[in-house]
Amino acid sequence: MDFHKELDARGLNCPLPILKTKKALADMVTGQVLRVIATDPGAVRDFQAFAKQTGNELLALTDENKEFVFFMKRK
């Protein structure tokens, strides 16, 4: 999947991956896609809740070798 910006949140625990994602999305324009890599297992439900609360779209979520990759589309 194509993306415009990448955020490495590996090794960070809740709530840091979401806080850094929120900051990164704020610097982007509507329609751009942010790729986030995280290792916190709690990030899966956190990103789903974040998408619902903010209106930013969670386009995809994959789990690769205990790393979670999220693609978030800026609203």
Which sequence positions are flagged as catalytic?
14
Query: Tokens 């974040």 identify what position?
Result: 50
Q: Are strands 67-73 and 57-64 parallel, antiparallel or unpaired?
A: antiparallel
Q: How would you label 3-13 residue by residue, b for 16+ Cβ within 10 Å and e otherwise?
A: eeeebebeebe
